[in-house]
Chain A
Amino acid sequence: MAALLTGRGLRCERDGRLLFDALDLDIEGGAIVELTGPNGSGKTTLLRCLAGLTGDFDGSVERFAPISYIGHRGGLNAQLTPLENLRWYAAVEGAPASAAMLQALLEQVGLAGCALTPCQQLSAGQQRRAALARLGFVSAPLWLLDEPLTALDESGCALVRDLLQAHRAAGGAAVCATHQPLQLANVQHTPLGAAA
């Protein structure tokens, strides 16, 4: 399998605290990496380094494929409906976005009835589902997901597992920062927080 991302000698300090040091990462197609560690151990920081959102770290990250990042803030505007948010993502992604397709994606994440409700009126779990809905059309082979299971119920967690399985089967890879175990087979564990 081709490498999608490599990180070499990653080291990051925040406010005088060493988050990770001499961290090597090799992410190949089909891999699912579970980043674990206590609160404040640098999981989100590492994801942001990998995504290219911050350059404030030592070491090198090489990205060989487009990435799709979903942060702990879902990237949904509270005034807009899930459908409108999704339509914007589809447009910047260059994905086809007929109303029927987007509606089908929302149905897939169990939000068929809320497509026209502003996101601010949705529950935390529903908002997370709405944020995850766009994984249905992203073509980026590498997903970086920050706490994808937070606020989700049992069926929501199953949904994330299904999305990850399908993505893996199609040759994609994912890095998930999470506190709840993903409960998937063949997951690489990368614990953080040992350096501190």
Chain B
Amino acid sequence: MWQRHPSVSRAFAAQLRRDLTIAFRAPGELVNPLMFYIMGIALFPLGVGPGAERLAEMAPGVLWVLALLSTLLSLDSLFRRDFDDGTLEQLVLNVDPLFTGVLAKVLAHWLVTGLPLAILSPVAALLLFLPASAVPTLVAALLLGTPILSLLGAVGAALTVALKRGGLLLTLITLPLYVPVLILGAGAVAAQINGVDPAAQLAWLASILALMLTLTPFAAALALRVSLE
């Protein structure tokens, strides 16, 4: 029998690599939330009318609401496939401490949803005539806010993974928790447009991120154990 030398960092790296490999094996699922984001935003000039002023006024809120919804769209698959094929049982039994495995999964999720969304957001901002001066603030706010969405979403996804149709419940659990991120994120962009320093909102987002980074992996790990009962 081979000697057992479990290493948290090695397990973390392996989990990250595994989830990223799976994500890139199914590129359709990968681009789905991003397509949803861009297309959802492209609908606004069509629905509201192409008036630059009116669109620019709505832009911070619209850009953030769509970011929330497209993250939500991608959440259900976070643990679903692992649950279906039995890997989740193995994760719970073998990864010690479990929250490190959860954190690796959430990081992988953010790298394939939140990060590309933040990178794509200047294009989306262009569609809504967001002033160019506010674009760096938008990207910064999304870089701080989308990991919070992934972390909070992981708790909801872990709680609902055992349910056959957990989608609605997942929305009900997760969306209210997203509200502070929405208010602060859109508020930062709006402040920049109005010539106010958005540092306060960005600092709030950063502190919420730090808090969620320390709390949600434990909560999600606990929820996974409950879901597997």
Contact = CB atoms under 8 A, between A and B. Distances in A.
B6 A75 contact: no
B53 interface: no
B26 A79 contact: yes
Main secondary structure of the interface of B (DSSP, over half): helix
Contact of A87 (B14, B84, B229): B14
Nearest to B11: A92
B7 interface: yes
B4 A75 contact: no
A193 interface: no
Nearest to B91: A92
B6 A74 contact: no
B14 A91 contact: yes
B94 A93 contact: yes
Interface string B1-25: 1111111001101110010011001
Interface of B: 1-7, 10-11, 13-15, 18, 21-22, 25-26, 81-82, 84-87, 89-95, 101, 228-229
Interface of A: 51-56, 66-67, 69, 71-80, 84, 87-89, 91-96, 118, 137-139, 170, 172
Given A74-B85, A84-B21, A96-B2, 15 more contacts: A51-B93, A53-B92, A53-B228, A55-B229, A69-B89, A73-B89, A75-B89, A75-B90, A77-B18, A79-B22, A80-B22, A91-B11, A94-B11, A95-B2, A139-B2
30 contacts: A53-B89, A53-B228, A69-B89, A69-B93, A71-B89, A75-B89, A76-B85, A76-B86, A77-B81, A77-B82, A77-B87, A79-B22, A79-B25, A80-B18, A80-B21, A88-B14, A91-B11, A91-B15, A92-B6, A92-B14, A92-B91, A92-B101, A93-B6, A93-B94, A94-B4, A94-B11, A95-B2, A95-B5, A96-B2, A137-B2
